């Protein structure tokens, strides 16, 4: 939710937290909120955007979604025989979910 959100927003790309936020808003506010965020996102109002994302549980939703995908990936790996490569992939699934927390 830090640097990567900033760089994606500055390029006008949607991230899962933003998709969740826009989807959680009443239909009448979706377009205007997305337009405001994408047109006004900068270092000064980054806190306001993060507050809005937190208020609508978009951050927590995204983290939980990432955890779920990581768990699914590890379950798929369970059919492989134990090896250092399998362990590395399982560790990688855990790492990508926990790296910025």
- Residue, of 21 and 82, whose pLDDT is higher: 82
- Residue, of 9 and 101, whose pLDDT is higher: 9
CA angle (47 as vertex; 60, 49 as ends), nearest 5: 60
Q: List alpha helices for 1-101, DSSP H.
A: 3-10, 16-24, 27-40, 46-55, 58-77, 84-98
How much is the pTM?
Answer: 0.73
């Amino acid at each position: 939710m830090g640097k990567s959100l900033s760089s994606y927003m500055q390029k006008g790309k949607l991230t899962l937290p933003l998709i969740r936020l826009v989807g959680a808003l009443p239909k009448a506010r979706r377009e205007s909120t997305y337009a405001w965020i994408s047109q006004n996102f900068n270092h000064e109002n980054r806190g306001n955007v993060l507050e809005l994302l937190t208020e609508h549980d978009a951050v927590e939703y995204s983290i939980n979604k990432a955890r779920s995908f990581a768990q699914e990936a590890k379950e798929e790996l369970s059919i492989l025989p134990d090896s250092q490569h399998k362990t590395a992939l399982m560790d990688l699934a855990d790492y990508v979910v926990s790296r910025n927390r």
